[in-house]
Structures are given as structure tokens and as C-alpha cells.
Amino acid sequence: MYFHIRSYPILLTIILLFFLSSCKINTGTHQFSLTPGKTFSFSSQFPIQKRYSKVFNDKSGQAIFCSYNTKTYKQIDLFTLDGKLLKSIPLKDVLTIEKSIYDVAPISTDSFWVLANYSNYVYLIGAEGNILKQIKVDTSVPDSMRAEVRGSMLSGFCINNNTFLFNCVYYYKDEKRAYTLSDYFKANKAHPYFLKMELASDSKITFGLPGFYNRILKDGDAMPAESALYAPIPQGILLTSWYSDSLYLINDKDFSIKKAVKMTSKYSTIGCVPLTTKEFQEGADLNALFNHLGGVWSISYDSFRNLIYIVLRGEADKNATEPSKKKSLLIYNTNLQLQEEIKLDCNIYDLSEMYVIKEGLLINKTDKNNGNITKFQLFHVDKK
């Protein structure tokens, strides 16, 4: 999770982990359990990082692990689950045009959508890294403010090959105007949260859910700094926030709120109070706030089992210099009914890196001494 304003660069890195203590499961509503299975290992030229990895299915339905490096090696590596490196795709063609890359969305083993940082360009690249198509996302809004598009931290920005769903936020400074920090956040909170782009309909742009933060924050001077937390499901779009204790189901046509349910946890406090712009300008430490508060880390949808996963981080001591490693996993059905809350051993498993495959959940298995070798434990999701 991180926050970026061009004139106020802040990097928030929040590591959220979930755990199985000696494979013993702590259950909530006793609907599901996780059963450990095989361990998978991937050896890469570069360290595999949480926000820069994905799992997708190839044309045969085989799960492919995808990891990408945008700074040093500037490439995408594809692995089969048995650890075999299938191929490496260079990112240099995009990076000769763009300064940096925000996200990569695999379409197949031969094609990838690449979202650039700040420029609002999306590139389709082929198996050799060659640019097949480039698209400028039109973020024009009625008040003529300039905005940039981002993806959800875990779910990304690509719903399918023809539809993109972005979180849309204002630039702090654009060509036409500059804001005080307070004015910026007031404007941004009233701005549409979503931007949907449909390529099959002549790149039709739809904005949605204006004023979302004004719904969930009482203080008009609040400074909500976070990465987007949403995931498309068949019924619409699931949305939550670090600053809310609710899970929202959004209509994917008109972006109205269809349903909202309060999330509860035995292990974590959900929903934190943001700093105000006044507190921040007076020297309050935004990173320190996130270091000790608990909350939502990620949201994802399991299409194989029709389940929703919410990763929560527990609270740490108020003087903590690092976020808590205590995590839990909330499991919901698509009616937004809580089915289970599960804790895993934070010394063994890291739920901040969790991927859905047909066989279950791949969860990072911590091994600090293995360099560029990353291990994942497969957990079967069993209904009791």
C-alpha cells in the first residue's frame, strides 16, 4: 500500500501476513478450512516482489506464475507451477517510452497489457516485448481537472481483454492549476472513484462512484492515502477501504452501491481514522500511523469456488517501527456473508502474497535465506 502525490511523495509499504501455526487452523464460523498441500518453488534472476507477481491460466488452463521487474532486469518471467522457467519477455520497448510501469496484466503467455505510471497510457506487448498497441486513457472530467489511473493492488486493472477498470485520482498539480494539500483532498474525495474503459465499444469511458470517501469519512479535512482495494465479481464490483469497516457491492453498470455489510474480525480492528491535512503539515508521520493500525490489506475473488477473500492485518504497538505480522483471512460468499476467519503462522506464511488457482490458494512460504528462490505452499480450500 502506498500513497503518491507529486509534490508530497510518500511511500507507504505495509506488509500484511497470514498464518497457519504448525498447520493448525483457528476457525471462525466453521464453514471452511485450509488443508496444506504441495510446496512450489520459483527461482528467478531477480527477487520476486509481492506487487509485481500474478498467476493466470494459459490457453490449456494450466496455471502460470508471472513475475516482473521494471527497474534492473526490465523483463517478465513466466513459470509453470513445477518451477520451470517458460520464457522471459523484455519490457525495454515500453520503458524507452515511459519512465516507469505501474502494473502488468497477463492475457496469455504471448501477450500482456502494461499500465504506465502517471502518463495514462496502456500498452499491449507481444512475446518479444514488441508494442502491438498503445492506448491513451482519456481522464477528462467536467471540471477539467487532470487525473491519473491506477489499478487495484491485487486484482489489477484488467477485467478482461476488452475492459479495464481503474481507480481514478487527481494529479496534485496539473497544467491548469495547483492546490493546497487540503483543497486537493477535498476535490479528490468528491471526484469519481472508478473509471471504466471498454475497448470493444470504441474505447468508451465511464466514470463512477463520485464522493466515495465523503461517504465513509466524517472529517472534511481527512487525508485518505491508500492503494485501491476492489475486485470484480459476477455480481458487480467489490470495494472496501483502509478507512472503512464495510464491504461494498457496486453495480458495474451505473456504479451505484447495491449492498454494504459491516466486516468483523476476531483478530483485527477494521477501519482506521486518517490523518488530516493539518496534522500532516504539522509533522504527523503517516507511515507511523499505518505501522501500528490494523486493517484491510487486499481483496480478491476466487472464481473456482465462488468465494471472496479479505486479508486483514492486526494492530501493532503504537511505537512500532514496522507493521504487525499478525494477519487473518476472511472468507465470504458472494452474498457477502462471512463464512470463516482463518489465521496462519506469520513466521511461516505471508498472506500478503496469495494467489488463487484451481487447486486452492498459493500462499508465500517465508524463507529469508534463499535469495531469489521464492516458495509457495498450496492450501486446499475445503468446505466442512
Tell me the three cell numbers of residue 104: 502488468
Element (H, E) at 215: helix 212-216
Nearest partner of 375 among 44, 40, 85, 8, judged by Cα:
40
pLDDT (tens digit, 9 = 90+) per residue, 138-167?
888 656 667 899 999 888 999 988 999 999
Q: Which three cell numbers stand for residue 135?
A: 492506448
- Which residues have CB under 8 Å from 351's CB, separation 6+? 16, 17, 18, 19, 297, 311, 327, 329, 344, 363, 364
SS3 264: coil
Render pLDDT for 174-201 as a digit per residue (tens, 0 to 9).
666 677 888 888 888 988 999 999 998 8
302, 308 in Cβ contact below 8 A?
yes
Contacts for 229 with CB less than 8 Å, ≥ 6 apart: 152, 153, 239, 240, 241, 242, 296, 298, 299
pTM for the complete prediction?
0.87
Contact 157, 151 (CB under 8 A): yes
337 near 7, Cβ under 8 Å? Answer: no
Residue from 340, 344, 320, 342 nearest 331 by CA: 340
Distance CA 62, CA 56 (A): 8
Q: pLDDT tens, position by position, for the chain (384 residues)? A: 434 444 333 333 322 222 233 233 334 456 899 999 999 988 877 777 767 889 999 989 999 999 999 888 999 999 999 999 999 999 999 999 999 999 999 999 999 999 999 899 999 999 999 999 999 998 886 566 678 999 998 889 999 889 999 999 887 766 666 778 888 888 889 889 999 999 988 899 999 999 999 999 988 899 988 889 999 999 999 999 989 999 999 999 999 999 999 999 988 889 888 889 999 888 888 777 777 777 888 999 999 999 999 999 877 777 767 777 778 999 999 999 999 999 988 888 988 889 999 999 999 987 665 667 888 999 999 988
Facing residues of 80 across strands? 64
pLDDT per residue as tens digits for the range 59-108:
899 999 999 998 889 999 999 999 999 999 999 999 999 999 999 999 99
Q: Which residues contact 185 (CB under 8 A, 6 or more apart)?
A: 221, 222, 223, 224, 277
In terms of Cα–Cα distance, which of 360, 359, 355 is closest to 53?
355
Q: Strands (DSSP E) along 126-283, which ranges?
A: 131-136, 147-150, 158-160, 163-170, 192-198, 204-210, 229-233, 236-240, 246-250, 257-262
Which residue pairs from 137-142 have beta carbons closer than 8 angstroms and sit at least 24 positions apart in sequence? 137/164, 137/166, 137/195, 137/197, 137/205, 138/203, 138/205, 139/168, 139/195, 141/191, 141/192, 141/207
